[in-house]
């Protein structure tokens, strides 16, 4: 029998309490000290691992310490500085364009609304939700590869499109938990619910998961 919305909501509350026990300190896996650094680190993380980005950013943020340094960077030099994160030409162009727009239209500050964030070059809903949730206490649902895989397996969506998944998760996860839930999904995706061989036998959610997609 098809699970109703209220049954899904009840199930997710149980999942959240397991997550609370197993991943009490789940947090953003990108290193950053301010909203600008997270905005840039998230752009670098496209098609790249967070671990790799965290290797690149300490030197990067030392060399380009503020929005002006990025906005007026030499594009070829910036490309070299971020080359190891892949897609470095596009990323360098977007980072420079993004920082120029921050200066021209937002007084050099990272804006605090989804609408404004989405206007910045290289910024999509994933980046915007991450910045809103982790820097501005405005919880957002960050749909990355882990959220996509786990929410399908756990039966909270049947979509692959990130925005549709975001909407499905918004319906069942209590809003104050949105940001934390997504960090916990990342932890769970790495610990048990891996892409290739999920460890369902030992998974602490196996009594709450229909194991879809496995
Ligand atoms: S039971 Fe399996 S599919 Fe479900 S969350 Fe756990 S590891 Fe993933």
Structure tokens at 177: 């938990």
**Is residue 192 helix, strand or coil?**
coil
**CA–centroid distance, residue 138 to ligand 1 (Å):** 29
> Does 115 lie in the same domain as 40?
yes
- What integer pLDDT is reported at residue 1 of this predicted model? 79
The model's pLDDT over 15-48, given as tens digits with 9 standing for 90+, comes to 999 999 999 999 999 999 999 999 999 999 999 9
In a domain, 15, yes or no: yes
pLDDT at position 83 over 60: yes
pLDDT at position 171 over 50: yes
Alpha-carbon torsion angle 85, 91, 110, 119, nearest 10: -140
* 210 Cα nearest atom in ligand 1: 4
- What integer pLDDT is reported at residue 212 of this predicted model? 52
> Does 127 lie in the same domain as 66?
yes
Question: Helices 162-172 and 5-22 sit at what angle, rounded to 10 degrees?
Answer: 90
The model's pLDDT over 114-134, given as tens digits with 9 standing for 90+, comes to 999 999 999 999 999 999 999
Please check whether residue 125 is in contact with residue 163, taking contact to mean a CB–CB distance below 8 angstroms. Answer: yes
- What integer pLDDT is reported at residue 129 of this predicted model? 95
Q: Tokens 């967070």 belong to which residue?
A: 50
Mean of pLDDT over the chain: 95
> Does 40 lie in the same domain as 117?
yes
Count each helix (H run) and each strand (E run) in the chain, helices first.
11, 0
In angstroms, the Cα distances linking 159 to 63, 152, 167, 175 are 41, 7, 10, 20
Q: Is 199 a catalytic residue?
A: no
Per-residue pLDDT averaged across 101-109, rounded? 98
CATH number reported for the structural domain that contains residue 176 in this entry: 1.10.1670.10
Residue range of the domain that includes 112: 35-135
CATH number reported for the structural domain that contains residue 118 in this entry: 1.10.340.30
In a domain, 130, yes or no: yes
Pocket test for ligand 1, best of 22, 23, 153 (most atoms within 8 A of CB): 153
């Amino acid at each position: 029998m098809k699970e109703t919305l209220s049954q899904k909501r009840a199930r997710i509350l149980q999942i959240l309490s397991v997550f609370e026990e197993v991943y009490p300190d789940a947090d953003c896996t990108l290193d950053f000290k301010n909203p600008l650094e997270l905005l840039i680190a998230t752009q670098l993380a496209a098609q790249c691992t967070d671990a790799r980005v965290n290797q690149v950013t300490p030197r990067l943020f030392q060399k380009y310490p503020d929005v002006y340094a990025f906005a007026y960077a030499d594009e070829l030099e910036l490309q070299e500085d971020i080359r190891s994160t892949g897609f470095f030409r596009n990323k360098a162009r977007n980072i420079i364009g993004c920082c120029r727009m921050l200066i021209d239209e937002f007084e050099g500050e990272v804006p605090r609304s989804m609408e404004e964030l989405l206007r910045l070059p290289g910024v999509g809903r994933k980046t915007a939700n991450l910045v809103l949730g982790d820097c501005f206490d405005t919880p957002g649902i960050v749909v990355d590869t882990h959220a996509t895989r786990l929410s399908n397996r756990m039966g909270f969506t049947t979509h692959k499109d990130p925005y549709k998944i975001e909407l499905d998760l918004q319906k069942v996860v209590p809003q104050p938990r949105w940001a934390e839930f997504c960090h916990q999904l990342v932890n769970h995706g790495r610990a048990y619910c891996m892409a290739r061989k999920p460890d369902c036998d030992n998974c602490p959610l196996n009594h709450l998961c229909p194991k879809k997609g496995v």
